[in-house]
Amino acid sequence: MTAVFLRFSGITFLLICLTLYQEGKKGIPNLVQWPSIIAMGAFGLFINNALQFIGLSYTSAVNCSLISATTPAMTASFTSFFMNAKLTGQQWLGVAASLFGVLLIISKGSLSAISSLNINYGDILIFFSQVSWAFYSIKGRSVMKTFSPIATTAWTGLVGTILFFLFAVWYGFDGEVNLNSYGWFSMIYMILGSGILAFCWWNQGIVAIGPNRTTIFTNIIPLSGMCFATFFLHESINWSQLTGAACIIIGICMTSLTSHWDFWHRH
Block means of pLDDT (10 residues each) for the chain, length 267 residues? 88 94 91 92 91 84 74 76 68 80 74 66 87 87 87 94 92 85 92 90 87 81 79 80 85 67 45
* C-alpha atoms less than 13 angstroms from C-alpha of 203 in its C-beta half-sphere: 25
Which pLDDT does position 134 carry in this prediction? 86
Which pLDDT does position 36 carry in this prediction? 92
Q: Which among 151, 121, 131 has a CA at the least distance from the CA of 58?
A: 121
Buried b (16+ CB within 10 A) or exposed e, 101-135: bbbbbbbebeeeeeeebeeeebbebbbbbbbbbbb
Contact present, 219 and 73 (Cβ < 8 Å):
no
Which pLDDT does position 111 carry in this prediction? 64
Contact present, 126 and 55 (Cβ < 8 Å):
yes
Which pLDDT does position 118 carry in this prediction? 66
Which pLDDT does position 83 carry in this prediction? 66
| DSSP code per residue over 205-238 | HHHHHHHHHHHGGGGHHHHHHHHHHHHHH-----
pTM score, two decimals? Answer: 0.76
Alpha carbon distance, N-terminus to C-terminus of the chain: 40
Which pLDDT does position 62 carry in this prediction? 67
With residues binned 3-state (H G I as helix, E B as strand, rest as coil), the percentages for the chain, rounded to 5, are: 80, 0, 20
Which pLDDT does position 164 carry in this prediction? 92
Contact present, 6 and 177 (Cβ < 8 Å):
yes
